[in-house]
Amino acid sequence: MISLSGTKNVGILVVSCDRYSDLWEPFFHCLFKYWPDCPYQIYLGSGAIAFNNPRVRTLYYGNDISYSDNLSILLDKISECWVVTWVDDRFLSETVDTLLVQRLIEEAQCRGAAYSKLIPEGPLAIPEGESSWGMVPTGTRYRVSMTIGLWQKDLLKQLLIGDESAWEIERLGSVRSDRIGAPFLALTSDFRKSPPLRHIHVVIKGRLVRSSLGFLRKECLTNQLKKRVFESRISSFYVWSYHLLFRTVDFLRRRIGT
């Protein structure tokens, strides 16, 4: 039976590595500024470098083997049955409605979801009555995402295999997820304009995202990230085109499903 106990059974794991330690101060600056009453235990996954903040518990995986191996080690160090995985290059950018996030998490728990994507990015779900969540069917591309999402920890462990990157987990793990009986959920399009965790994507493939510059300047964070160069304009256009394509496919799928 799935154990539900609100905040005590949910932890947040910020998955990172020592090469990205320059992101930690700005990341947690934004997290605590925009979510000061976060009710969940927060963990930071690190190879060997400590992060000194009383609100963050640093967990170590040691040698950097692979994303999947590192993540598996970190999950074994977390006592909570449910874990929100969060990548370190997505910074909160607006105040979080804690009660809304708690409601969404509790609803996903009650449905026994294996995974529930907490940001309204593709694939979005087709609405199911009054529910904030909808099923992501088996066979859907990127049914699994390593961005920001709630997992049943044991089922995430079951999904992982050794020597995979985060991208491979999303691509190949989505195929493996079809063998897991518990539902995979995504937010409905109702959350597109008012996401529960509004954020800015700051780094892609080690380079600063051009569209994040205004936000970083507003938060006075550019100096802390001055060692990183910006992505090329071609890369920026590619990412923009990719997201436009994903939004278009989601829109058409929802129209066909209604």
* pLDDT tens figures, 71-83: 999 999 999 999 9
List the domain range (segments joined by +) for residue 137.
7-257
For residues 49-55, give the mean pLDDT. 96
Residue 2 falls within a domain, yes or no?
no
Are 78 and 11 spatial neighbours (Cβ–Cβ below 8 Å)?
Answer: yes
Residue 26 falls within a domain, yes or no?
yes
pLDDT of residue 228: 93
The overall average pLDDT reported for the chain is 90
Residue 1 confidence (pLDDT) above 60: no
Residues contacting residue 66 through CB under 8 Å, at least 6 positions apart: 162, 163, 164, 165
Residue 1 falls within a domain, yes or no?
no
What is the total count of domains within the chain?
Answer: 1
pLDDT of residue 122: 81
Cα separation values, 64 from 23, 30, 158, Å: 18, 26, 21
Predicted confidence (pLDDT) per residue in 219-250, tens digit: 999 999 999 998 655 555 445 555 555 556 55
- The CATH number of whichever domain residue 74 belongs to comes to 3.90.550
Predicted confidence (pLDDT) per residue in 140-194, tens digit: 989 999 999 999 999 999 999 999 999 999 999 999 999 999 999 999 888 988 9
pLDDT of residue 23: 98
Residue 55 falls within a domain, yes or no?
yes
Residue 57 falls within a domain, yes or no?
yes
